[in-house]
């Protein structure tokens, strides 16, 4: 949580958070080992988003088909076919 708060302050240009000196020293050591990723590494890129939305679209279409099939079965169960004789 400390690292997250520190990175939030860093990204938002809020200055350094007010941590105790020992915690700040540990945080500085951590930041030296784990650098903050570049802007474009922090957010999904177009190919990742395209795959995500394609997957979401597929799931939505599968769900719509499942619901439509359930409605069709329910309708047929309550409205039997009439013979046109």
Residue 11 pLDDT exceeds 90: no
Number of domains in the chain: 2
In a domain, 60, yes or no: yes
pLDDT digits (tens, 9 = 90+) for 19-65: 888 988 888 898 889 877 777 777 778 888 899 999 999 999 999 99
- 82 lies in some domain: no
Domain for residue 84, yes or no? Answer: no
Judge whether 80 lies within some domain: no
Most distant pair of Cα atoms in the chain: their distance: 92
Question: Do 36 and 9 share a structural domain?
Answer: yes
Same domain, 18 and 35: yes
One domain, residues 70 and 53:
yes
């Amino acid at each position: 949580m400390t690292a997250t708060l520190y990175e939030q302050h860093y990204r938002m240009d809020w200055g350094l958070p007010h941590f105790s000196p020992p915690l700040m020293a540990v945080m500085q050591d951590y930041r030296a080992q784990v650098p903050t990723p570049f802007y474009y590494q922090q957010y999904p890129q177009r190919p990742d988003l395209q795959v995500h939305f394609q997957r979401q679209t597929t799931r939505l279409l599968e769900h719509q088909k499942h619901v439509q099939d359930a409605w069709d079965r329910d309708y047929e169960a309550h409205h039997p076919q009439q013979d046109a004789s």
